[in-house]
Amino acid sequence: MRTILYILQKEFIQIFRDKAILPIIFVMPVFQLLILSYAATFEIKNTRFITLDHDNSVQSKKLIAKFRGSSFFSFSGQAVNYAEAEQALKNNLTDQVLIIEPDFEKKLKLEKTASVQLITNAINGSAASLMNAYATSIVTDFNKEIIVEQMPQKFLGMPIQVKPVYWYNPELDYITFMVPGILVLLVTIIAMFLSGMNLVKEKEVGTIEQINVTPIKKYQFIAGKLIPFWVIANIDLGIGLLVARFVFQIPVEGNIFLLFSVASVYLVVVLSFGLFISTLTNTMQQSMFISWFFLVIFILMSGLFTPIESMPDWAQFLVKFNPVAYFIKINRMIMLKGSGFFDFQKEFWLLVLYAIAMFSFSTFRYRKTA
């Protein structure tokens, strides 16, 4: 234990001696959390739309007014003909075109039915699906108003009334969903890069040879390299939680000590993974490339940007080996739902096994020569 303490003392002195790395450790994650939480969203707002109104009646103008009054749509003008509307879509001047047929109002009054056409730019399939859903909802609401207007004595309302109740995120704020996940990613990136470059830096400057001739055991050396960044990553997590609470108004609904306990195990996984990469490489450049290769896979398959349930079966199988996916799930459960240990104990014990395995691999892979 005394030997590890001496290594820790050396590591902390070495870390705080490098003035350039301190802002990277403590300041950049805060800025990244503030920026990414607003930027990384799948919400569709201010969808640009133009109209092609062949009727120019009171009812057609009412329908267009409902679109213009929605916070999801931004009116970009009216097309004269179909060719102009098509050209606007091709030139990316609009996202949707609302086409209202001739005699729209007349058909509504006499035939009780009329048609409108929605053309959507579907280059981004998921965005197009959401835009179409918003537009369809507005048209459906307009239909109800027409029924009430034409047959008020017969309209008794919809036979089934739905009153949604949203738990854990009642305002349906996408930031509330994203912040816990982005916080995990930032802590992961900082921890893996710092640990991945730490050991290989000793190789580059040549100080590793001085350590190798000492009687320090391999596990003591790896532990001494891991613990300082484990402490720093936990501090970063604490700062991130404060930002989430006071900037984004997202409190930790669950036990804060439980959250840090799980984070402590998770960080052993990430830091050991970084040290394992560091034992395989000889330069910092090699370490950064390999670390980034695994980070991209871990991040994209973590469930933060794409639901794991939507992935193909082979990808869902690979997610079982992704520690980032486990901690994002646990972090959201504790922060947003107030979950207890027994709600995620399976994921926690998998992280424990992962931590033991990665620390063992790092220790075994480190070649100490006397």
For the stretch 180-221, pLDDT in tens is 999 999 899 888 888 888 778 777 776 776 666 677 787 777
What is the tens place of the pLDDT at every residue in 323-339? Answer: 999 999 999 999 999 99
Q: Other CB atoms closer than 10 Å to residue 220's CB: what's the count?
A: 19
pLDDT of residue 15: 76
d(CA 81, CA 69): 24
Is the pLDDT reported for residue 112 higher than 80? no
- % of the chain exceeding 70 in pLDDT: 93
pLDDT of residue 370: 43
d(CA 101, CA 103): 6
Q: Are residues 236 and 252 in the same domain?
A: yes
If one compares 29 and 210, the residue with the highest pLDDT of the two is 29
> What is the distance of C-alpha 267 from the center of its chain?
19
Range from 19-33, 126-140, 153-167 that averages highest in pLDDT: 126-140
Q: Is residue 227 part of a domain?
A: yes
For 277-302, the DSSP string reads HHHH-SSHHHHHHHHHHHHHHHHHTT
Q: Are residues 199 and 251 in the same domain?
A: yes
If one compares 185 and 365, the residue with the highest pLDDT of the two is 185
Q: What is the CATH number of the domain that holds 94?
A: 3.40.1710.10
If one compares 297 and 26, the residue with the highest pLDDT of the two is 297
Q: Is residue 71 part of a domain?
A: yes
Is the pLDDT reported for residue 150 higher than 70? no
Is the pLDDT reported for residue 157 higher than 80? no
pLDDT of residue 356: 94
Of 143-152, 155-164, 282-291, 357-366, the one with minimum mean pLDDT is 155-164
d(CA 215, CA 322): 36
Q: Are residues 206 and 344 in the same domain?
A: yes
Task: Please give the helix or strand (H or E) that residue 315 lies within, else none.
Answer: helix 313-319
Q: Are residues 342 and 263 in the same domain?
A: yes
pLDDT of residue 128: 85
Amino acid in the structure at residue 283 = T
Give the end of a domain, one of 150, 184, 215: 150
What range does the domain containing 352 cover? 2-40+170-365
223 pLDDT band (50/70/90 cuts)? Answer: confident
What is the tens place of the pLDDT at every residue in 43-99? Answer: 777 889 999 998 888 888 999 999 888 888 888 889 989 999 989 998 888 999 999
Q: Are residues 180 and 231 in the same domain?
A: yes
Close Cβ partners of 59 (under 8 Å, ≥ 6 residues apart): 104, 105, 108, 146
Domain count, the chain: 2
Q: Are residues 81 and 138 in the same domain?
A: yes
Mean pLDDT of the chain: 85
pLDDT of residue 39: 75
Q: Are residues 194 and 240 in the same domain?
A: yes
Q: Is residue 158 part of a domain?
A: no
Q: Are residues 122 and 141 in the same domain?
A: yes
Instruction: Name the residue among 182, 187, 190 with its Cα closest to residue 248.
Output: 182
What is the tens place of the pLDDT at every residue in 266-311? Answer: 999 999 999 888 888 888 888 889 989 999 999 989 988 888 888 8
Q: Are residues 86 and 132 in the same domain?
A: yes
pLDDT of residue 209: 67
Is the pLDDT reported for residue 13 higher than 90? no
pLDDT of residue 328: 94
pLDDT of residue 166: 81
Q: Is residue 200 part of a domain?
A: yes
If one compares 284 and 39, the residue with the highest pLDDT of the two is 284
Q: Are residues 130 and 277 in the same domain?
A: no
pTM of the model: 0.80
Give the end of a domain, one of 150, 178, 196: 150
Q: Is residue 156 part of a domain?
A: no
Instruction: Name the residue among 192, 199, 190 with its Cα closest to residue 221.
Output: 199
Q: Are residues 283 and 348 in the same domain?
A: yes
Q: Is residue 262 part of a domain?
A: yes
DSSP state of 206: T
pLDDT of residue 156: 56
Q: Is residue 162 part of a domain?
A: no
Q: Are residues 192 and 73 in the same domain?
A: no
Of 25-39, 120-134, 207-221, 347-361, the one with minimum mean pLDDT is 207-221
Q: Is residue 160 part of a domain?
A: no
